[in-house]
Structure 1
């Protein structure tokens, strides 16, 4: 189930960006491909670029915090594995 969610979210973001980009005179192919590869980070940047700054910054900050949290947790787990509990 988790794999399905991890696959469906970037596809939904890609479709949204490809449909919404022409409304703001942006290239739908570029934003669609970026959305498929980078997901929510590109969505936040897109919102900032198109004038929806509050939503864009909220999404971007949450994504960055989640990335930092996952790096810290992975590092802590690796420390525990290699140095014993």
Structure 2
């Protein structure tokens, strides 16, 4: 994981920690979820707090990105096992 993704996760965690008490949610729970799961936790939080359209967009895009990363990792591993010739 690059340092930029860590920064994005920290920003998401800070946002969730600040916004959660305003919406009647647990501050530390959402901050920890935001730090470890990033955009998916942010999307689920937005869905639960009534901002459903933006929440679903963020969640679906994050899942698509994670699936693409997983596919590229499998393809890279397959290329390394079979060789580049």
Aligned length: 84
Q: Provide TM-score, normalisation by structure 2.
A: 0.91
Q: Runs of 5+ in structure 2 lacking a partner?
A: none
Q: Which runs of 4+ in 1 moved over 4 A?
A: none
- How far has the Cα of 1:12 moved from its partner? 0.5
1:54 aligned to 2:53?
yes
1:24 aligned to 2:23?
yes
Name the CA distance, whole Å, in 1 between partners of 2:48 and 2:61.
18
Q: Provide TM-score, normalisation by structure 1.
A: 0.91
Q: Runs of 5+ in structure 1 lacking a partner?
A: none
- How far has the Cα of 1:64 moved from its partner? 0.5
The match for 1:76 is 75
Structure 1 residues 74, 3: CA separation in 2 closer, same or farther (over 3 Å shift)? Answer: closer
> Deviations for 1:18-71, whole angstroms, at most 9, x for unmatched residues?
110111111111111111111111000000000100110111001110111011
